[in-house]
Amino acid sequence: MTSAALKNSATRELTRVKLDRLAGGLAFGLVVIHFLALFLLVFTLFSAPAKAEDLTCGATDLVGALKKSDPAAYAKLRAEGDRIKNSGYRFWKLEKDGQAPDWLLGTMHLSDPRVTGLPDAAKAAYDASSTVVLESDEILDQQAASLKLFAKPDLMMFGGTKTITDYLSADARKVLEKGLMDRGIPLLSVVKMKPYIIASMVSLSTCELSRKASGAPFLDMKLAVEAQAAGKKVKGVETLQEQIEAMASLPMDFHVRALVSAVRYPKYTADMMETTLQLYLNGQIGLVFPAAAYFAPEKNSSDFKDIALFEEKLITQRNHHMADRADPILADGNVFMAVGALHLIGDQGVVELLRQKGYKATPVN
């Protein structure tokens, strides 16, 4: 074998090993993506490379920049976010007569230290709690969770002769092929994967991927592991399979459009991820949707249908499951509940749904 052939063989083997490692974590990685990130994909998200030591990953906080450059436009955008019920806080105290208070934290499923460092009030409540409730307690046994998913391959892979290329126009295939190759992933090596699985491989920034590769836990994982080590009960309100089934319930063209358009605009993706993180830290969760729409590089009529469909399947329906399943656990009192921040807000958010179940929900600064 020539040196060139050996080099090509070694390159293919390295790529195979990288993909095998990714595949091993994909089943659980969809939790890591977080539905915040998936929502941003609807607005054409993709991750841009940057130095791992740069927490912003070279990205810009678009809302912060708008606030400085155009205060009037910022005020209008801010007002749009403020109209969303319960949108200004990420930490809540839950009270009901006859039981000890419970606590509710909105999370981002990232390992960024700006996210994993809890605010003082949340840290005190977490430390004092006897039970920790997360979206899924399966994060404590990723291998078992992955095996359950691999028993349902149709959730993650195309069956028969179908591949993602069957859903791509010639132009879309070129865009996706180049975008994946820029990440070191040949299209043919992932051609059988459903588009949302591929999205899980490319939607996170190189900074986040670097932290995860080094073993840094994302916030929910950190809460679960530390709770278990402290002897607390750890419970979930969803299964990983249910989360992926919710994603799979969206039309295939929805996922394909999101993935392909995401690859077209890497800068926007990186900037919106940083923008979302800053909105989360500043307690402006209601601004995430309006900001993503405001700064989107393309504004198509299909976007509004996509947003409505996304909200119904991946936010609203799951909110009801979370609130219904959490209610009997919260009844014991002294519970610390942590779910994705977008699930807290709105008329049918978890905060409002728990109020309907008799809880007094008070925001904690």
Residue 43 token pair: 């607005």
Q: Determine the pLDDT at residue 2.
A: 53
Residue 171 token pair: 């132009």
Q: Determine the pLDDT at residue 131.
A: 98
Q: Which of 170, 347, 202 is nearest to 266 (CA)?
A: 202
User: Which residue's structure tokens are 């392909």?
Assistant: 260
pLDDT higher than 70, residue 222 = yes
Note the pLDDT tens digit of each residue in 82-133. 999 999 999 999 999 999 999 999 999 889 999 999 999 999 999 999 999 9
**Positive/negative CA dihedral, 16, 20, 22, 23:** positive
The top-scoring range by mean pLDDT among 18-22, 69-73, 291-295 is 69-73
By DSSP bridging, strand 102-107 and strand 335-340 are parallel
HEC per residue, 162-199: CCHHHHCCHHHHHHHHHHHHHCCCCHHHCCCECHHHHH
**Could you give the CA distance from residue 153 to residue 142 in angstroms, rounded to a whole number?**
17
Q: Determine the pLDDT at residue 147.
A: 80
One-letter amino acid for residue 48 of the chain: A
- More confident: 249 or 25: 249
Which residues are registered as beta bridge partners of 132?
234, 336
Q: Determine the pLDDT at residue 33.
A: 38
Q: Which of 16, 49, 84, 95 is nearest to 266 (CA)?
A: 49
- More confident: 63 or 243: 63
Note the pLDDT tens digit of each residue in 17-65. 333 333 333 333 333 333 333 443 333 333 333 344 567 788 999 999 9
**Could you give the CA distance from residue 52 to residue 41 in angstroms, rounded to a whole number?**
22
Percent of the residues in the chain that have a pLDDT greater than 70, as a whole number: 83
Confidence of residue 164 (pLDDT cuts 50, 70, 90): very high
Residue 362 token pair: 């008070």
Q: Determine the pLDDT at residue 268.
A: 87
Task: List C-alpha distances in Å: 94 to 6, 101, 103, 301.
Answer: 62, 6, 6, 40
Q: Determine the pLDDT at residue 51.
A: 40
Angle formed at CA 218 by CA 28 and CA 222, multiple of 5 degrees:
105
Tell me the pLDDT of the chain averaged across its residues.
Answer: 84
Q: Which of 116, 105, 124 is nearest to 215 (CA)?
A: 116
Q: Determine the pLDDT at residue 100.
A: 97
Task: List C-alpha distances in Å: 114 to 51, 54, 64, 186.
Answer: 17, 12, 16, 33
Note the pLDDT tens digit of each residue in 312-345. 888 999 999 999 999 999 999 999 999 999 999 9
**Positive/negative CA dihedral, 234, 127, 99, 322:** negative
Q: Determine the pLDDT at residue 300.
A: 67
Q: Determine the pLDDT at residue 185.
A: 85
**Positive/negative CA dihedral, 364, 119, 342, 278:** positive
Q: Are 28 and 146 in contact (CB under 8 A)?
A: yes
Q: Which of 37, 36, 365, 76 is nearest to 202 (CA)?
A: 37
Q: Determine the pLDDT at residue 145.
A: 76
Q: Determine the pLDDT at residue 302.
A: 57
Q: Which of 39, 57, 60 is nearest to 262 (CA)?
A: 39
**Could you give the CA distance from residue 108 to residue 111 in angstroms, rounded to a whole number?**
9
Confidence of residue 305 (pLDDT cuts 50, 70, 90): low
**Positive/negative CA dihedral, 257, 291, 208, 223:** negative
